[in-house]
Amino acid sequence: MLHAILMALRMTGVMLWELLWALCLGFMLSAILEAVVSKENVSRLLPDSSAKTIVVASALGAASSSCSYAATALARSLFRKGADFIAAIAFQFASTNLVVELSVLLAVLLGWQFTLAEFTGGPIMIALLVLLLRATLKPKLIEAARRQASQNLPGRMEGHAAMDMSLHTGSFWGKLTSPKGFTSTSHYYWMDWYSLWPDIFGGVLIAGCLAAWVPQPWWAGLFLVGHPTLALFWGPVIGPLVAVLSFVCSVGNVPLAAVLWNGGISFGGVLSFLFADLIILPILNIYRKYYGLKIAALLFVLFYASMSGAALAVEFLFRALHLIPAHGHARVLEESVRWNYTTVLNILFLLASAILLFRFLKTGGPEMLRMMDAAPPEGDHEHACCHHG
């Protein structure tokens, strides 16, 4: 038993070391985007669920780059401020599935094919979801959801979602290189680390335990490896269910996705698992608080269907283009920490993170973090904007 625990912990530590520079890079790029792209008045750009508005919502969501909890809270905030419900949901999906930190981790752990598949399947999933929501959401249901949302019941990370520390004037480079831009980037960077480290550590720990303890034949049986045709359709169905039960969301689910891929789940199964970070059990409970039990149940069914459908569509597309890599190539099973390019990159990004941490501490960062889990009052964004020194 002790040997098994030590093996799982060693695997967890090695995976965290392998992922460290990629996480830092992803969070830095995300922080830069958030520092120069303002979320102010986003709700005014989402007045309906037309194709044009959904494209705008997806682009804004990708630029906002939030964790699953913050994205869910921000979608409710936009809805309360007058945004169309379907457009707000599209924004929410894009802000967790079409983001730069996820693409970096996928490329490092699973390969560029999965990064391409994520950015191919994400828009397909959003399109399917919009069609399903239009077909099932009646005005009476939307009005009931709006009444429930107006009660401002706390979920998680409403304070994070309400913060807008972006700069509103100047060119991209001018905003980025200004003292305020540096401050804003440092705040977003460490806010992301603060909000996501439980999911990242939890995801890596679960992945390390499963990689160390679960034998390959068990995975093969679960994913129907011996029945290729059936496994093709089974993967996108079982993938979201594994995500729901794992409780891991955001980028924390990438290491576990690598374990599933090495275990034999289909390409589409990995994608559906990655898409399903917005239907884990804690977030489903938040939907119940935000919109009511009936809407939460409907969202779960429609989300599940769109995730599985998009994953299956990408599976067929990538098979036709011969873009699906071989199983078992994921880097989640590195044996030990070595002196190589990973170590060099980790040292460089740790130094950069230390510089951002110094700026963060000198400009009121700890005070900002204390606001993150506080539910904002009726004014939402207005109270939470960061004041730069």
Look at residue 379 and tell me if it is in a domain: no
Could you give the CA distance from residue 113 to residue 244 in angstroms, rounded to a whole number?
24
- Helix, coil or strand: residue 77: helix
> What is the pLDDT, as a whole number, of residue 347?
94
Could you give the CA distance from residue 131 to residue 192 in angstroms, rounded to a whole number?
32
Residue 85: exposure state from Cβ atoms within 10 A (0-12, 13-18, ≥19): buried
Domain ranges, residue 23: 2-44+100-136+168-360
Look at residue 299 and tell me if it is in a domain: yes
* pLDDT higher than 60, residue 115: yes
Contacts of 352 (CB under 8 A, 6+ apart): 24, 28
Q: Which is higher by pLDDT, 357 or 45? A: 357
Q: How far is CA 304 from the centre of its chain?
A: 16
Look at residue 151 and tell me if it is in a domain: no
Once rounded to an integer, what is the mean pLDDT over residues 225-242?
94
Instruction: Give per-residue pLDDT as tens, 56-112.
Output: 999 988 877 667 887 888 888 889 888 999 999 999 999 889 888 888 889 888 889
* pLDDT higher than 70, residue 350: yes
Is there a contact between 176 and 28 (Cβ–Cβ < 8 Å)? no
Handedness of CA 86, 92, 94, 97 (dihedral sign): negative
Is there a contact between 189 and 355 (Cβ–Cβ < 8 Å)? no
Return mean pLDDT, the chain. Answer: 84
* pLDDT higher than 70, residue 259: yes
Q: How many CB atoms lie within 10 A of CB 331?
A: 17
Look at residue 331 and tell me if it is in a domain: yes
Could you give the CA distance from residue 55 to residue 94 in angstroms, rounded to a whole number?
10
Look at residue 105 and tell me if it is in a domain: yes
Overall number of domains in the chain: 1
Contacts of 74 (CB under 8 A, 6+ apart): 39, 64, 66, 91, 92, 95, 161, 162
Look at residue 193 and tell me if it is in a domain: yes
Q: How confident is the model at residue 385 (pLDDT cuts 50, 70, 90)?
A: very low
